[in-house]
Amino acid sequence: MTGPSFAHQIAMRSLLPALRVGMSEEIRIGMLVPLSGAAESWGLPGLRGCQIWEDWLNAAGGALIAGRRYRVRISAEDCGYAPDQALEGARKLVQSDGVALLMMLGGDSFNAVRPFLTEHKVLTSTLLPSDLSPDTRYLIAPAEVHPVYNVTGVAWLAREQPHLRKVALCSQRDALGLPSLATYRAAIKAAGLQTCAEIQYDPAHHDVATIVQPMLDSGADVLCWCTSYTPMVHAMTEYAHAQGFTGTILSCTMDQYDRLIARTSAEFMEGTLFQFPDFDDPALAEKAFFFNQPSLFYSEYQRRFPGTWSAVSWEYPAILDIWLAAVEKVGTLASASVMAAMRQMGEAAHAFGPAQWWGARLFGIDNALVGDWPVVRIEDSKARIVAFGSVPDWLAAHEDVLFDEMSALGQLWSQRLAQAPEALPLAPRLAP
């Protein structure tokens, strides 16, 4: 939200008397995320980031609500990405712990608890905006609006490297892959690029040659992995390297890219484009967003949890920052009031700057926060932000194209609810 950042508030509080009235009471925030099993890497790094956020906030005096300060405690339950386990965890966090906010990965685990959370009017966040629909009034996607931000990478590529015209796409057929494929299709059309090959594969498929070789045979300048899971991203990238590909790789994520550099070469990975930066990036130093000191957060995370940094390490803390700003403004924890505060403050501040609530046409409700998003490029073996692209500006010009491509793949909210396909499990985000 507009106003001073979390870090600025902490700095100012340190100069004032520590008024700790109410500090004997606690505010509970719930995390119902995978902390074990195949999807652990989509939850555990986020819990670790939230533990840093919790420690920093409490050290600065806690949350200030209606003139009283309260300690904040993160209560975590492992859903293992299993519906039954998710429902059991939700009941504990809501009915026993009385959490004021419940943070989830989303997807199948959210579908299992949707009626329960709606009935209890629990303010809930998800990292997958495909969970949104008109009946999820208290569900928000304020950190990651996957996959809409991927348009910024394609737009940068077309603008800055106009000699790269032919793109080959591949995507797994599941709840993450198909919306991503639709988005890349729309972005490629909007940029005037050419799709020379498209491969859709089963998420359980591991024969990368049958996926990548047709893409190479198409004569593509760019190989786009869409939002393939990290083990597949690594395997496909290594295959392309072994076959002598000399073009550019485009992907939503490139977690553990240092391993790929070691397994291929620095020269091969040079110029690879994706969407998630390291938080020691100099381009973040001037951004007014949560913590306002991203490099400090990054270094603290690396100190406490070395080698485990990923996109979700910062996404859950970013949600906490947005929630705290609304709570302190409205002076209550009530879900309806906090939601109203978010709306009334108009333009919000997400991780990379000002953002706005959007989503009605695709998701049936304006509960997704969109703003600038970084375009990240590997330069001299290090991920570097090369631009911040405006998602709202792109949508203002090309939302019709995105709508059509989402519709073509059955990814509009109305289509998804009508089809109710059998759920597919998420794969781990980290490479082996």
Question: Over the chain, what is the mean pLDDT?
Answer: 88
Domains of the chain: 6-146+286-372 (3.40.50.2300), 148-280+375-419 (3.40.50.2300)
**Sign of CA pseudo-dihedral 33, 34, 39, 41:** positive
Question: Residue 41: is its pLDDT beyond 50?
Answer: yes
Burial class (CB in 10 A: 0-12, 13-18, 19+), 207: exposed
Encoded tokens for 106: 């989303």
Question: Residue 339: is its pLDDT beyond 80?
Answer: yes
Question: Residue 302: is its pLDDT beyond 60?
Answer: yes
Residue 247 φ/ψ, nearest 5 degrees: -90, -150
pLDDT digits (tens, 9 = 90+) for 68-124: 999 999 999 999 877 789 999 999 999 999 999 999 988 778 888 999 999 999 999
Q: What is the pLDDT of residue 254?
A: 92
Q: How confident is the model at residue 390 (pLDDT cuts 50, 70, 90)?
A: very high
Q: How confident is the model at residue 129 (pLDDT cuts 50, 70, 90)?
A: confident
β-pairing, 348-350 vs 353-358, is: antiparallel
- SS3 (DSSP) at 33: strand
pLDDT digits (tens, 9 = 90+) for 214-268: 999 999 999 999 999 888 999 999 999 999 999 999 999 998 899 999 999 999 9
Which position has the token pair 């990814």? Answer: 411
- Residues 47-63 have a mean pLDDT of 95
**How many Cβ atoms sit within 10 Å of the Cβ of residue 245?**
17
